[in-house]
């Protein structure tokens, strides 16, 4: 054996040992100075962000699963409001797109309330996250996930932007759930809110199972979704079945009720427009971000304290009337709640030779839930083109922080997509998979046919 070969072999062993040691050191911090999911346990210096003390895991007295979800913070007093008259005073704690929305949309304001670090997860979720901290890794290409177990955060102490985005992509809301909601696209130049685009949706992943052993055990399936439009009549029965895969393109099937035919859609990803959104939303901004990471370089740009939607119980109460929630350009400001939270900042820059309608994107990822709460999508001139927002709330029955209502605002057209509105409906069934009401067979082409011919 040559000296060079011996040297390279020893270097590889030392490198692997150093990596394992670093991972073990990071894992040891979880539950100590870091929370079990990798957030800073301590509050901030100003005391405006409190320390994490385990989350508000216990449901209010008398509440039962399936009943209207009470707002445990209904007694909080508003601290202040951010509007066009004072937004510059707070811009250091706002995303660029949020500042632009406050300045450009008449009547838009952000009501800020005391911060509650309310989110928490089961003990097994924390135990599995600690294992991932020492063993999870990306593929050699730097953007695919090579190794991790599910029902856990894959990278609680991320080293780069791609790892942080994977934390969002695998963010956990239970083993699988179903929901009925509506989206609204207020008409251009009008004062109304448009027709309700009503939908039934089922979501599940083998990676969400507490018994998952890794990517191979999940059959290389990252995530599964079935969405069926139930109204208005012009699109009722149209459906999308999507299976997001690890390290290969998504599998997508579309069903158009007028044609009574299921069609494979191999190009329905990246910046392809989402059906029935009037070109105001693209595929990979659904669920804040989904799909392959390969078209961007991902930079972890540190943390930022940001005013974000949080503990959104009032906005997501099904007992609300639609007219009380949905306004022509935004959700009712009296129902919206903002809090100051620490966000991981991830900057995505389009790779040379790649194509996407948004050459730059900035994601703000909540440290306590690893979900993207705000995103700015930026055009070739460096101006914010679109901004999305969504806010979590605690589903005590899971237990996990979940989310529903979200906004995508297009600064160029001055129009919004107001999505996943629960008003006038019922609570999502967050236990559908755990209690057997949702099966894996739902996410097969035959399941699509069954769902559209009920």
153 versus 444: the higher-pLDDT residue is: 153
So what's the pLDDT on residue 448?
A: 83
| Beta strands 197-204 and 239-245, pairing class | unpaired
DSSP conformational letter for 165:
H
CA atoms within 13 A on the CB side of 96: 13
What structural domains does the chain harbor?
Answer: 80-452 (2.50.20.10)
Secondary structure element (H or E) that encloses residue 279, with its range: none
**Whether the predicted pLDDT of 27 surpasses 80:** yes
**Whether the predicted pLDDT of 39 surpasses 90:** yes
Single pTM value for the model: 0.94
**Whether the predicted pLDDT of 355 surpasses 80:** yes
**Averaged pLDDT score across all residues of the chain:** 93
Contacts of 264 (CB under 8 A, 6+ apart): 251, 252, 253
127 versus 454: the higher-pLDDT residue is: 127
So what's the pLDDT on residue 3?
A: 38
Q: Give the Cα separation of 231 and 427 in Å (integer).
A: 19
Percentage of residues in the chain having pLDDT higher than 70: 95
So what's the pLDDT on residue 266?
A: 85
**Whether the predicted pLDDT of 202 surpasses 60:** yes
Of the pLDDT bands very low, low, confident and very high (cuts 50, 70, 90), residue 22 is low
Residue 400 and residue 265 in contact, taking contact as beta carbons nearer than 8 Å = no
**Whether the predicted pLDDT of 10 surpasses 50:** no
- Average pLDDT value for residue range 165-192: 94
Specify the length of the chain in residues. 454
How far, CA to CA in Å, does 272 sit from each of 87, 267, 278, 291, 293? 34, 8, 12, 12, 15
**Whether the predicted pLDDT of 244 surpasses 90:** yes
- Average pLDDT value for residue range 144-149: 98
447 versus 215: the higher-pLDDT residue is: 215
* Residue of 68, 178, 243, 208 whose CA lies nearest to 437: 178
- Average pLDDT value for residue range 399-421: 97
Of the pLDDT bands very low, low, confident and very high (cuts 50, 70, 90), residue 21 is low
So what's the pLDDT on residue 4?
A: 42
What is residue 347's three-state secondary structure? strand
Question: What does the pLDDT look like over 282-329, one tens digit per residue?
Answer: 999 999 999 999 999 999 999 999 999 999 999 999 999 999 999 999
Dmax (CA) for the chain in angstroms is 79
**Whether the predicted pLDDT of 13 surpasses 70:** no
- Average pLDDT value for residue range 333-360: 98
Of the pLDDT bands very low, low, confident and very high (cuts 50, 70, 90), residue 191 is confident
Of the pLDDT bands very low, low, confident and very high (cuts 50, 70, 90), residue 148 is very high
Q: Give the Cα separation of 348 and 364 in Å (integer).
A: 11
- Average pLDDT value for residue range 259-277: 90
So what's the pLDDT on residue 77?
A: 98
So what's the pLDDT on residue 260?
A: 84
What is residue 375's three-state secondary structure? strand
So what's the pLDDT on residue 9?
A: 45
**Whether the predicted pLDDT of 452 surpasses 80:** no
Of the pLDDT bands very low, low, confident and very high (cuts 50, 70, 90), residue 138 is very high
Of the pLDDT bands very low, low, confident and very high (cuts 50, 70, 90), residue 454 is low
So what's the pLDDT on residue 446?
A: 78
* Residue of 156, 164, 163, 151 whose CA lies nearest to 121: 151
Question: What does the pLDDT look like over 61-98, one tens digit per residue?
Answer: 999 999 999 999 999 999 999 999 999 999 999 999 99
**Whether the predicted pLDDT of 5 surpasses 50:** no
**Whether the predicted pLDDT of 11 surpasses 80:** no
């Amino acid at each position: 054996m040559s000296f060079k070969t011996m040297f390279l072999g020893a270097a590889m062993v030392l490198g692997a040992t150093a990596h394992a040691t670093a991972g073990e050191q990071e894992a040891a911090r979880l539950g100590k100075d870091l929370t079990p999911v990798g957030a800073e346990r301590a509050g901030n210096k100003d005391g405006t962000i409190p320390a994490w003390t385990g989350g508000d895991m216990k449901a209010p007295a008398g509440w039962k699963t399936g009943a209207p979800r009470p707002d445990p913070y209904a007694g909080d007093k508003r601290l202040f409001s951010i509007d066009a008259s004072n937004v510059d005073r707070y811009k250091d704690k706002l995303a660029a797109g949020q500042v632009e929305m406050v300045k450009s949309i008449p009547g838009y304001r952000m009501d800020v309330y005391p911060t509650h670090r309310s989110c928490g997860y089961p003990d097994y979720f924390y135990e599995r996250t600690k294992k991932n901290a020492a063993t999870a890794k990306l593929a050699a290409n730097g953007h695919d996930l090579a190794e991790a177990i599910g029902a856990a955060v894959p990278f609680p102490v991320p080293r780069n932007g791609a790892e942080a985005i994977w934390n969002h992509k695998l963010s956990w809301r239970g083993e699988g759930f179903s929901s009925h909601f509506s989206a609204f696209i207020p008409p251009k130049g009008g004062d109304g809110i448009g027709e309700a685009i009503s939908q039934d949706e089922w979501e599940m992943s083998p990676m969400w199972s507490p018994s998952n052993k890794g990517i191979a055990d999940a059959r290389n399936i990252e995530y599964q979704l079935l969405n069926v439009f139930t109204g208005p009549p012009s699109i009722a029965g149209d459906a999308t079945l999507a299976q997001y895969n690890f390290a290969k393109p998504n599998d997508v099937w579309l069903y158009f009720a007028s044609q009574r035919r299921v069609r494979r859609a191999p190009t329905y990803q990246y910046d392809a427009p989402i059906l029935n959104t009037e070109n105001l939303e693209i595929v990979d901004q659904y669920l804040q971000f989904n799909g392959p990471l390969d078209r961007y370089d991902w930079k972890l740009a540190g943390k930022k304290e940001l005013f974000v939607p949080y503990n959104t119980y009032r906005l997501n109460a099904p007992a609300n009337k639609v007219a009380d929630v949905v306004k022509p350009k935004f959700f009712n400001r009296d129902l919206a709640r903002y809090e100051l939270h620490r966000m991981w900042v991830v900057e995505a820059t389009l790779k040379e030779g790649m194509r996407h309608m948004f050459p730059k994107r900035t994601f703000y990822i909540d440290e306590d839930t690893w979900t993207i709460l705000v995103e700015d999508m930026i055009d070739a001139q460096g101006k914010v083109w679109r901004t999305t927002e969504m806010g979590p709330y605690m589903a005590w029955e899971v237990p996990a922080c979940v989310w529903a209502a979200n906004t995508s605002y297009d600064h160029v057209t001055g129009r919004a997509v107001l999505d996943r509105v629960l008003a006038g409906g019922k609570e999502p069934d967050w236990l559908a998979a755990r209690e057997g009401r949702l099966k894996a067979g739902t996410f097969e082409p035959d399941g699509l046919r069954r769902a559209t011919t009920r």
